[in-house]
Structure 1
Amino acid sequence: MREQPPYLRVADALQQRITSGEWSPGDRLPSRAQLAHEFDVGDNVVRRAQELLITQGALEGRTGSGTYVAEVRPRLTMVRARSREERGGSPFKGDMASLGKHGSWDSRTEAKVPAPADIAARLGIAEGDLCVCTRYEFLADGKPVQLTTSWEPYDLTAGTIVVLPEGGPLAGAGVVDRMASIGITVSRAIEAPEPCHVTDEEAALLGVARGALATTIRRTYFSDDGRAVETADIVIPVALGEIVYEVPINL
């Protein structure tokens, strides 16, 4: 009988500590160097063992912090409704407040990014036209629940106070309010949800298993003259969020 690969032996030992209650949900694991010394293996063996348990949902990796025993996280009901765009400020913060949670986010913006073909088609611009691209990690009570990549045509906001979505006096105000400040009225949005599996990078950021089922929402905002002013890809893991659409009925 072939000997069990070292990384599987380490993974089994780590899983046993979780199952026995020696490590509880939320506990941080010892460093890879410590575990490598304990099991008399290389760091790469410990890394493979941890990656296996992350894909199985037993562990979660937190960028820059370490590896933790996965916690059972409540599934949030995320309502997509016209009212979320009408209350002013950040729709996400409002959504989380309605659930009794604190909404926040981290972001990274790049200006003058050439539009890929699919983004250009959604914005009604030419491939390669410059855009402002912002990547968001949205948090509920400090836990990541959603990733969004947003694209805005650069020529739409260039030279204005809202050219950077997360900079200036209207930082974080949301697309509708930011565009209104420069005389552009956002009158409608189109959302197209579809199932997907998270990428390895998305799994690490969200703290979910590699390849976990998610919903991607392709959202595009349009001004009252029909121009697309922003388009975004929103990724919500199924394990973390239930997406519900509220449809108004005018009698």
Structure 2
Amino acid sequence: MPKPNISLTRRLESCKNFFVRLITTFVLVPIVLVVTYEGGFWFISLVSLVIGIASFEWSKLCGETSLIFNVCYSLTGPIISVIYFYWGYQIALLFIIVFALIYMFTNNRLNHNNMWFSFGVCYLSLPMVCIIMLRMDDSIGLNYVLFLFIVVWMTDIGAYFVGKLIGGSKLMPAISPKKTWSGAFGGLVFSLVGAIILASIVENRVPPTYMVLAIFLSIISQFGDLFESWVKRRFNKKDSGLIIPGHGGILDRIDGLLTSAPIMLLTILLLKDIAFL
């Protein structure tokens, strides 16, 4: 009986995963873009839903097995978004701290990873508030969020394709064995190209600060990806979940946004008198 061709099997599996990943992307991206364009209640609802699912995944990733605890933890982000919607970002930030302290000092009977649960509240809810704040600027908020999404998405795409095609030296093999330096550089280039195209369409010009911010956010986004890889390795998990076919969990898709969104908002606040979008 002939032995199965392991190499061929792996290639077929890789191709299948790629096409599933591609189809999922073509379905989800238009939905996200339409809701982002609409803004307001629908945008806040989408962001809240995403963070709620991500919180559920984070709780499970940290070793929690109680469904009741996981569900309660997943409601933290949506509750904070409701608080933001009615009472503003100051009260929302206050409640992020309150929830973080609650999870830090409440011992769970199944495990003692309270620091991870406490950190998760800030790690997930703070970027959520930042993204909502960016979009709520009626005059240019849509451009801000589109810029952020394009940079992060193109970073992921560039890193994936260039890393697959070129390969080479590993970026941080102890944290993420598949990531390469060529992929990291490809992510930078793709993000810059995506940002330039967006600027050309929206403003018919490409300010230098715009390009610098795109590169900086791309780097921050890749650090976010590496951080989540480190957390998964810390808890011996391959993916954060299976909710998105071909991609894994929600956390696997938004890890770059979680680190880059606060930096984007901080940059906007610091450079509010400089038009770069």
TM-score (norm 2): 0.24
Which structure would you say has the larger Rg? 1
If each structure's strand is expressed as a fraction of its own residues, which one has the higher value? Answer: 1
